Amino acid sequence: MKALEERILSEGKILPGPVLKVSSFLNHQIDPDLVMDLGAEIGRLFKDAGVTKILTIESSGIAIALAAGAALHVPVVFAKKHRTSNVSGAVYQTQVHSYTHNTDYTVVVESQFIKPDDKVLLVDDFLANGKALEGLIELVDQAGAKVVGAGIAIEKGFQDGGAALRERGLRIESLAVIDRMDENGITFR
Ligand code: 5GP
């Protein structure tokens, strides 16, 4: 998506990792017009996939997931990163390795929110090595539901996650795919 690529070029900062910091429009301050457009585009791409539910991970995925949910008129569930007092009863849970923090954490969804007949669209802000998506797929598997695909805002195409998950048959639609980012700048696929 041209508008997303332009914002990445004008406001993105490259940190060691490599991590692309997009705090001015996606990860800290949020541009609602842009994010609603991202959601609308994800909705358009998956409009014929029979999506009944969207699943993301707190917290950065929530805004985009909400926008996609508004476009597709389906509920949005976010996996919680810790089992808090307001998560109760039967749960699905798994471990995810965090790319940005380099630690493992537990993600939890109450089982009442994903049913075996759900067709689940995964949504996240970034795709790097694919660990966040793998965790979400595991939660959907535990529920006996079906994953119909993943809608991603920014895929770092030079990392392995996208290729590995597509090889496993996952339909991934990324709105901006970065081929290269370094001291010379950022190029898109
Ligand atoms: P993965 O699990 O695919 O390795 O990484 C995806 C997750 O890590 C996303 O949920 C995102 O929050 C975070 N992430 C990975 N790479 C980046 C990055 O370059 N910038 C930001 N802001 N987050 C990233």
- Cα(107) to centroid of ligand 1, in Å? 15
User: How many of the other CB atoms lie within 10 Å of CB of 117?
Assistant: 10
Say if ligand 1 is within 6 A of residue 129 CB. Answer: yes
* Nearest by Cα to 46 from 129, 155, 114, 122: 122
Ligand 1 atom with least separation from CA of 26 = 22
Check pocket membership of 12 for ligand 1, CB cut-off 6 A.
Answer: no
pLDDT at 50: 98
- The pLDDT, as a whole number, for residue 126 is 98
Pairwise CA distance, residues 47 & 42, whole Å: 8
What digits encode the pLDDT tens for the residues 26-67? 999 999 999 999 999 999 999 999 999 999 999 999 999 999
pLDDT at residue 84 tops 80: no
pLDDT higher than 90, residue 143: yes
So where are the chain's domains?
2-188
CB-CB contact of 97 with 104 (8 Å): yes
105, 79 contact by CB (below 8 A)? no
CATH architecture of structural domain 2-188: 3-Layer(aba) Sandwich (3.40)
pTM for the structure as a whole: 0.97
What is the band of 183 on the pLDDT scale with cuts at 50, 70, 90? Answer: confident
